[in-house]
Amino acid sequence: MRPDPPPIHTNDALRHVAEAKLGNRPADGAPSDTARLLHELSVHQIELELQNEELMSRRAEVEAGLALYTDLYDFAPVAYASLGPDGTLAQTNLACARLLGLERSLLHVKHLGQFVVDGDRRLLNDWLKSVFDSSTVQRCQVLLNVAGVAGAAGNPGRTVQIDAERAPGSPLCRAVLMDVTERLQAEASLRLLEAQLRESQKMEAIGTLAGGIAHDFNNILGGILGNLDLARQDVGEGHSALRPLEQIHKASLRARVLVQQILAFSHRQSEPSGRQAVRAPVAETLALLRTTLPAGVQLQVDLADAPLFVRVEATQLQQIVMNLCTNAWQALEDGVGCISVVLESTVIGEGAAPRAVRLTQGRYAHLQVSDDGIGMDAAVQARVFEPFFTTKPVGRGTGLGLAVVHGIVAAHGGAINMDSAPGRGSTFDVYLPLLDAPVDTAAVGPFAPQVPVAGQGQHVVYVDDDEVMLVMVQHLLQRLGYRVTGFADPQAALAAIRQQPLSFDLVVTDVNMPGMSGLQLAAELAALRANLPIILSSGYVTEDMRTQATHLGVCGVLNKENTLDELGTLVAQVLARIQPDIG
């Protein structure tokens, strides 16, 4: 701890100390003039010596304080500077020199504006004027560009925040310069993540709504298609009603495709368990597309030689390519331009582009579709993946194409990124996780319904709270030779089977019903009679539903929209498998 400084003496006190130090006074009586003069000179000499000691002590304190301040100023982690009204750097510390990329000795002849990008110099000059016109702290943010300063070698492209106020009684202002680049980048990343979260929540909500609508629509479609087939059988060949019935059938099939697209968007289609080569379905789709494109559209294709296996069905891959290419085609002005399709493998690592930040590190199949069409503004880009959103004229699109692509990609752990601007076209990048060598690379063909085997009077219970489906399925199974008992209430069906558990050969039940679900009914029936075969029917089938059904011993799960094509065959197959256990 530094000792207290010597006291500051007044003239009287100083004289008293001097006389005490002198140690002798003039003799009593009337001293001679010479003695008084000598005494006064001695006192003044001692006073001067005391004052000199005091001044030296004060000087040492000031120098120590100055050295301490200089150290704090020079070695502070924050950049400090004193600026003139024109931005001249009158004084800087070491941190400021490092920030500006020049030795401190060379900064004193520089203007701060020399280190700022051209576009921010007017902002800097206006800020300087406000600093010297005001008595409060003023703030601005500028972008550094040291490339134009001779000898400077640091921090180009850094954003600096400057806070300054005019120093009292000085022609200079005191400024604090802070590099806020990382903070701004972090804030931008946070805003991006928040926007992605909001987008994800919005798409999830829309997907849930779309999936629910698709489920209910599947019930309606199942009833329409089933009753339509029964009507065609009733009228027979050559009847005049066959033609309008055929048109209803075509419209219903189109509606079924639309429902499948909605389910793909809402992630409610079950994932395939096998591996699919990407190159083959992409090449096939592009070959088909090339034959339909007008002469003014150039299709450039660059596909990787490797097959690139992913866990996505071939039909879904074809949907992705066709929808993206159709969107690109329709974006070409006057139907003339170029569409480019690239397929390659890529690795997403720590240095991935910001647009791919939502992907985990790993290997991906990268499909890029770009066009040189009209492009999209920010407002359109914000809604481009929403179902039924379209900028096309009426009759030229449903608004489901890109929504379906988004749904398929997201459901399989991938990502889709977009880059577009008005007048410079659009680019869509699809990333799907790559798989290792496949266990089985054989292509899986489309489902081909088999002609159902006629029943032999077996007693089938059908449970569905939808009256249209209940009546239709009863008629369908009766025509196939089965005895059918229908129930709109699963509790009533359970009570009937409990009374006569051995009187029924098979139960077919809807899954989503009020009061008791099909899965709950299956559990009750399994406890009542373990060998009673059960088939579940649902407007949408999920992997979780299949897992629960397998755990309960359910024999089959049927997509309700395929009731007409598949139920008869599935019933016959199940009954054939368990026939030895019956009776």
Query: How does the average pLDDT of the chain come out, rounded?
Result: 79
Q: Is the domain of 425 the same as that of 291? A: yes
| pLDDT in the model for residue 72 | 64
Choose the weakest-confidence range: 64-68, 93-97, 206-210: 64-68
Residues 297 and 398 in one domain: yes
Residue 323, domain member (yes or no):
yes
In this predicted structure, the answer to whether residue 194 has a pLDDT above a threshold of 60 is yes
Would residue 44 count as lying in a domain?
A: yes
Total domains in the fold of the chain? 5
Verdict on whether the full-model pTM lies above 0.75: no
CATH assignment of the domain containing 126 = 3.30.450.20
For 157, the token pair is: 């492209």
Give the model confidence (pLDDT) of 123-142 as tens digits: 999 999 999 999 899 999 99
* pLDDT at 26 (0 to 100): 54
pLDDT(8) > 50: no
Distance CA 501, CA 529 (A): 7
Q: CATH number for the domain including 402?
A: 3.30.565.10
> What's the chain's Rg over C-alpha atoms?
43
| CATH at residue 476 | 3.40.50.2300
pLDDT of residue 509: 94
243 shares its domain with 173: no
Q: Are residues 500 and 389 both part of a single domain?
A: no
Question: Residue 302: its pLDDT value, please?
Answer: 93
Higher pLDDT residue, 51 or 523? 523
Residues of the chain with pLDDT > 70: what percent? 77
State the pLDDT at residue 68. Answer: 57
- pLDDT for 393 equals 56
Buried b (16+ CB within 10 A) or exposed e, 375-407: bbeeeeeeebbbbeebeeeeeebeebbbbbbbb
Does one domain contain both 331 and 385? yes
Q: Which helix (H) or strand (E) holds 124?
A: helix 118-133
Burial of 31-66, coded b for 16+ CB within 10 Å and e otherwise, reads eeeeeeeebeebbeebbeebeeebeeeeeeeeeeee
Q: Percent of the chain, pLDDT > 90? A: 22
> What mean pLDDT is predicted for residues 396-411?
74
Residue 453 included in any domain: no
pLDDT tens-digit map of 349-359: 755 544 544 67
Q: What pLDDT does residue 357 have?
A: 46
Region 95-115 average pLDDT = 85
Same domain, 481 and 577: yes
Same domain, 471 and 557: yes
Query: Does pLDDT of 580 surpass 70?
Result: no
CA distance 164 to 174: 5
Domain that holds residue 324: 276-433
Q: What is the dihedral of CA 354, 359, 365, 368, to 10 degrees?
A: -40
Check residue 445 and give its pLDDT: 35
Q: What is the pLDDT of residues 460-470, one digit of tens each?
A: 999 998 888 88
Q: Are 393 and 334 found together in one domain?
A: yes
> Are 156 and 145 contacting, i.e. CB atoms less than 8 angstroms apart?
yes
CB 176 within 8 A of CB 80: yes
Q: What is the pLDDT of residue 235?
A: 79
Q: What letter does residue 156 receive in the DSSP assignment? A: T
Average pLDDT over residues 476-489: 92
Same domain, yes or no: 554 and 475: yes
Predicted local confidence at residue 9, as pLDDT: 47
Two tokens, residue 481: 């030779």
Domain's final residue, options 125, 155, 179: 179
The pLDDT value recorded for residue 476 is 87
Give the residues across from 367 on adjacent strands.
Answer: 343, 430
Which of 118, 151, 179 is a domain's end point?
Answer: 179
Please identify, among 265, 288, 307, the residue that sits at the C-terminal boundary of a domain: 265
pLDDT, residue 408, reads 84
Looking at the fold, whether 57 and 97 belong to one and the same domain comes out as no
Domain contains 171: yes
- Predicted confidence at residue 46, as pLDDT, reads 76
Same domain as 283, residue 371: yes
Q: Is residue 488 part of a domain?
A: yes
Question: Does a structural domain hold residue 415?
Answer: yes
Q: Which tokens hold the place of 301?
A: 């294709």
Instruction: Identify the residue with better confidence: 534 or 249.
Output: 534
Does residue 327 sit within a domain?
yes
Residues 54 and 119 in one domain: no
Is 449 within a domain? no
More confident residue, 61 or 69: 61
